[in-house]
């Protein structure tokens, strides 16, 4: 028979090992049982947008109690409170026993902590993600105009629940600037309804729009797709004119790629960059001249696009 001191030590060691093994097993579980956007703004499918206010309600089930341990819930670093005086967090189930004074003091923080006590917790987080927090990089034009290049984050971790450095729950969405989302939506619609006789021309113009969008000139890119989306294409014109238009459109697409590379790799060569843009404008003028003999309205629309490009580097 073991002495009482050894029996106590063995029992205590077993208890500690149980707690440690329990937390390891629990780290493999998902404590988030459900979540829902309960404010006026909702995701579209699996997409949320920058510069949009959201209220997300999360139901969490803590499966065990661990003395002297805490877990935390964290909103993404890119998130901001809806207003400077509005807390991120609002606890809907005040009866959850893991809430203490420390928890209440953290309502304005991105990360809020709780004691690890078995039970259910419902919490809301109010947030928005400013567009400037979604900028990949900025580009300085030859005339010192700053272009902000935005990105789509396809695996954006919005909320994370963590116990002892182990993730026990997470909520992910795609994060889109709304302008990029609308642009891509319009491109998809145009591709699905493009008249067969104009498919090559439309594809070339959409390639140009894509390159402008990648430059951060999403408004200009959207202007191009708006022209294509609203336009009622007539019976195909003379094939020679069509091929001429497609050829010039291809040159434009290649030019915009050069334009982007020059911005990123040779910012100091201001005069060369300016000449590249001017070359693109001359190509647009050539395409416009071809269109003038086919359709004056489309030619005018292209002229408007050309002017927007010219202003974008001023």
Q: Coil, strand or helix: which one is 53?
A: coil
Q: What pLDDT is recorded for position 282?
A: 65
Q: What pLDDT is recorded for position 197?
A: 75
236-271 burial code (b ≥16 CB/10 A, e <16) = ebeeeebebbbebbbbbbebbeebbebbeeeeeeee
Q: What pLDDT is recorded for position 97?
A: 95
How many Cβ atoms are within 10 Å of 108's Cβ, its own excluded? Answer: 13
Q: pTM of the predicted model, to two decimals? A: 0.64
Query: pLDDT tens digit string along 206-248?
Result: 887 887 777 667 777 887 788 777 767 666 655 655 555 555 5
How far is 180 from 187, CA to CA, in rounded Å? 11
Q: What pLDDT is recorded for position 314?
A: 55
How far is 98 from 308, CA to CA, in rounded Å? 57
Q: What pLDDT is recorded for position 280?
A: 58
Backbone torsions φ then ψ of 71, nearest 5 degrees: -120, 165
What single DSSP character describes residue 129? -
How far CA 138 is from CA of 109, 146, 148, 155, in Å, comes to 29, 6, 5, 22
Q: Are 227 and 305 in contact (CB under 8 A)?
A: yes
How far CA 41 is from CA of 44, 52, 83, 160, 307, in Å, comes to 9, 7, 16, 21, 36
List of domains in the chain: 29-176 (2.60.40), 180-312 (no CATH)
**Which residues, given as ranges, of the chain have pLDDT below 50?**
2, 4, 6, 8, 10, 12, 14-25, 257-258, 260-273
Q: What pLDDT is recorded for position 201?
A: 75
Q: What pLDDT is recorded for position 255?
A: 52
Reported in sequence order, the residue ranges of 44-117 that DSSP labels E, i.e. its strands, are 47-49, 54-62, 70-75, 89-91, 111-115
Can you list the alpha helix ranges (DSSP code H) found in 194-238?
199-214, 218-230
How many Cβ atoms are within 10 Å of 163's Cβ, its own excluded? Answer: 22
Q: What pLDDT is recorded for position 145?
A: 65
CA-nearest of 132, 119, 129, 183 to 156 is: 129
């Amino acid at each position: 028979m073991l002495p009482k001191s050894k029996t106590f030590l063995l029992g205590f060691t077993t208890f500690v090992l149980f707690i440690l093994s329990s937390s390891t097993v629990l780290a493999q579980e998902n404590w988030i049982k459900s979540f829902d956007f309960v404010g006026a703004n909702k995701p579209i499918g699996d997409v949320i947008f920058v510069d949009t206010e959201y209220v997300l309600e999360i139901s969490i089930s803590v499966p065990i109690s661990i003395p002297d341990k805490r877990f935390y819930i964290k909103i993404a670093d890119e998130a901001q409170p809806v207003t400077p005086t509005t807390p991120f967090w609002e606890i809907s189930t005040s009866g959850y026993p893991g809430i203490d004074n420390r928890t209440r003091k953290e309502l304005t923080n991105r990360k809020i902590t709780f004691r690890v006590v078995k039970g259910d917790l419902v919490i809301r987080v109010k947030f928005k993600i400013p567009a400037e927090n979604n900028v990949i990089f900025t580009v300085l034009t030859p005339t010192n105009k700053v272009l902000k290049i935005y990105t789509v984050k396809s695996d954006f971790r919005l909320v994370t629940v963590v116990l002892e450095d182990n993730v026990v729950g997470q909520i992910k969405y795609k994060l889109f600037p709304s302008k990029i989302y609308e642009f891509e939506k319009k491109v998809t619609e145009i591709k699905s309804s493009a008249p067969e006789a104009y498919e090559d021309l439309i594809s070339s113009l959409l390639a140009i729009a894509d390159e402008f969008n990648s430059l951060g000139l999403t408004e200009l890119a959207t202007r191009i797709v708006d022209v294509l989306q609203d336009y009622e294409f007539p019976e195909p014109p003379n094939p020679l004119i069509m091929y001429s238009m497609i050829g010039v459109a291809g040159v434009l697409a290649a030019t915009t790629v050069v334009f982007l590379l020059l911005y990123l790799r040779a910012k100091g060569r201001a005069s060369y960059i300016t000449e590249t843009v001017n070359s693109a404008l001359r190509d647009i003028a050539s395409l416009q001249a071809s269109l003038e003999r086919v359709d004056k309205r489309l030619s005018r629309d292209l002229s408007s696009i050309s002017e927007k490009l010219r202003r974008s580097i001023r």
